[in-house]
Amino acid sequence: MALFQLDNIQKTFKHGTTSEQILQSIDLELTKGALTALTGASGSGKSTLLTIAAGLQETTEGTIRFEDKTLTAISAEQVREVRAKHFGFVFQQAHLVPFLTVKEQLELMLDTAELKWSKEKRRSRIKETLESVGMWSHRDSQPENLSGGEKQRVAIARSIIHEPKMLFADEPTASLDSKRSAEVMSLIQGLSKELDITVLMVTHDEDVLQYADRTVEMKDGKII
């Protein structure tokens, strides 16, 4: 079942009197609970498509549907609410808040999602999520005391703490060595299946494609 659907997505950037079409008539359905990898050379439009799908930038033309909502037909504030409650994000860098502990990173995400959870559920969810990524023992650590792989594990925990239905990952292993990359991808794959999270991931790394349920290749703004 398609949880997320992109129809005729086009993106054009204007540079003075000229324009450049970055995305051309993209159609893509994302099946619930599946991990889809977007591949292709630099400049093929992968990251642009990801950010448009996630509601981080507007499409020039086309329709984006998530569950029963047409995201391209609602207000920016309504899109923000959908993004905060139902989407999670993992990027190449962990982007942890430097002065917050591991546990506080997750607390901040729950505050941002504005979920009406009890204090008891918040505490249990934070413990459960950090245990799932092997970081509960580091709950009081500052980011400066964590390795690159540990930071990315915290970033993954932060991205799923609010129980999202969609996870958008942009080069989540690009800054890691091969061992840590495999650990992070195994973690993302496992959590996707365990929690039934639909994942859209951009990657240049062919080694991580083995973790995807589906690979979609892009070239010159098109799916090929």
Do 102 and 138 form a contact (C-beta atoms < 8 A)? Answer: yes
Residue positions counted in the chain: 224
pLDDT interval class at 1 (50, 70, 90): low
Cβ(52)–Cβ(9) below 8 Å = yes
Residues 100-154: tens digit of each pLDDT: 999 999 999 999 888 889 999 999 999 999 999 999 999 999 999 999 999 999 9
**Would you state the pLDDT for residue 6?**
96
Q: With H, G, I as helix, E, B as strand and everything else as coil, classify residue 13.
A: strand
C-beta of residue 48 within 8 angstroms of C-beta of residue 222: no
What pLDDT, on a 0 to 100 scale, did the predictor assign at position 114? Answer: 84
CATH number for the segment(s) 2-223: 3.40.50.300
Helix (H, G, I), strand (E, B) or coil at 69: strand
pLDDT at residue number 223: 95
User: Whole-number mean pLDDT of the chain?
Assistant: 93
Residue 50's identity, in one-letter code, is L
pTM for the whole structure: 0.92
Number of H helices, E strands in the chain: 6, 10
- Alpha-carbon distance 15 to 149, whole Å? 39
How many percent of the chain have pLDDT more than 70?
100
Reduced to 3 states, what is the DSSP secondary structure of residue 211? helix
Amino acid 92: pLDDT? 87
Look at residue 5 and tell me whether its pLDDT is greater than 80: yes
Tens-place pLDDT, residues 40-69: 998 899 999 999 999 999 999 999 999 989
